Amino acid sequence: MYRTKSGEEIFIIDGHVHNWDASPENQRNIHGKQFIDCFFGYHSALSPKEELWPKAKFEKYGAKTMYRDLFVDGPDDMAIIQPTYLLDFYKKGFNTTEQNAAIVEKHPERFILNGAFDPRDGERALDYLHELKERYGVQGLKLYTAEWKGSSRGWKLSDADAYRCFELCEKLGIKNIHVHKGPTITPLDRDAFDVADVDHAATDFPNLNFIVEHVGLPRLEDFCWIAVQEANVYGGLAVAMAFIHSRPRYFAEMIAELLFWLGEDRILFGSDYAIWTPKWLVEKFMAFELPEDIKKERGVDLSLTAKKKILGLNAAKLYGIDIEKQKKKLKAAANKMAAD
């Protein structure tokens, strides 16, 4: 658990992590290589030099490394593990719910497992949602609207088949809909990640929470104008957080905009592991202060209270986590691991 210099504990829920296999053996075609090369480009460009990984490790790091980076060397208390299937690019998928479930089963006190659906599967998508709920009890999903499927190069949250899935999500109690609406990853199409369809879905499904991952970058302004009108829209900071190192002024502008439009109750921390590890992100975030001119212009501040909410309290509220009870579970699990 992260502690401030004064000894105050901060419970951290990392809202966006993956355990992927993008190794050459799993790449189905050139697009699998393009995709992971693009991820590695972001990693190389935005990470501190001492945090850079060799390419082979980045392609496939495994569950043990993930656990260590998040919870032993890293400050995370819990993490939401998000799937990204990409079956057209990877033989076994990039990281599916079924694959992620293996590490969740081993460390249930640490992970929240999310599922996914693809509305282009029609009736099979509905059947799969039932399976995800019955088999894993998922409370959330991660949707990738730019994913390729045969001749299709994306879909929209406002599509009729997507609405059928959202209607079923309401019935099943799958309330947290994480959507990748951020930078394009080669070879996916930039416009397939446009945020406009969030407006439609959030309006028509007020009982669902739409967590817009990567806060819509490079469409931050569009995202903020939507989120200020839709109380069930949240901003996930994965990718945006990395700029705290390479372009701190840019990060300050982004977080100030989010605080101005959404407020501190609708912003969630995400490391986007393994593009970046949470240790340096959290350390830099806790040390970060908004420049005075930005605070004065927007009338906001990145206070300790705001940081606590962003780093964990907001996600805990969405997923119904009682933090004090969770601390006891983590302590019991740690004692058991030590005894074993």
What type of residue is 55? K
Question: Domain for residue 334, yes or no?
Answer: no
- Asked if residue 187 lies in contact with residue 34, where contact means CB atoms within 8 angstroms, the answer is yes
Residue 80 lies in a domain: yes
Where are any strands of DSSP class E within 220-300?
233-236, 267-268
Looking at the domain assignment, is residue 25 inside a domain? yes
3 state DSSP class of 234: strand
- Examine residue 338 and state whether it is found in any structural domain, yes or no: no
148-191 pLDDT, tens digit each: 999 999 999 999 999 999 999 999 999 999 999 999 999 999 99
Answer for the pair 312, 11: CB distance below 8 angstroms, yes or no. Answer: yes
The enclosing domain of 30 has a CATH number of 3.20.20.140
Q: For residue 5, is pLDDT > 90? A: no
32 vs 108: CA distance, rounded Å:
30
pLDDT over 70 for what percent of the chain? 100
Cis peptide leading into residue 306 (ω within 30°): no
Strand, coil or helix: 80: strand
* Averaged pLDDT, 217-246: 97
Asked if pLDDT for residue 339 goes beyond 90, the answer is: no
Q: What mean pLDDT is reported for the chain?
A: 97
Q: Of 74, 66, 54, 73, nearest to 18 (Cα)?
A: 66
Residue in the block written with tokens 């992620």 = 100
In a domain, 337, yes or no: no
**Domain count for the chain:** 1
- Percent of the chain residues topping a pLDDT of 90: 94
User: What confidence score (pLDDT) does residue 268 get?
Assistant: 98
Distance CA 194, CA 179 (A): 11
- Cut 0.95: pTM above it: yes
Query: Is 185 among the domain residues?
Result: yes
Look-up of token digits 């029609």: 122
- Amino acid letter for position 331: K
- For residue 233, the enclosing domain spans 13-321
Q: What are phi and psi of 62, to 5 degrees?
A: 90, 165
For residue 338, pLDDT beyond 80: no
- Reported as a pLDDT band with limits 50, 70 and 90, residue 36 is very high
Could you identify the residue written with the tokens 């309290």? Answer: 313
- Residue 152 — left, alpha, or beta (φ > 0 → left; ψ -120 to 50 → alpha)? beta
- What pLDDT does 337 receive? 76
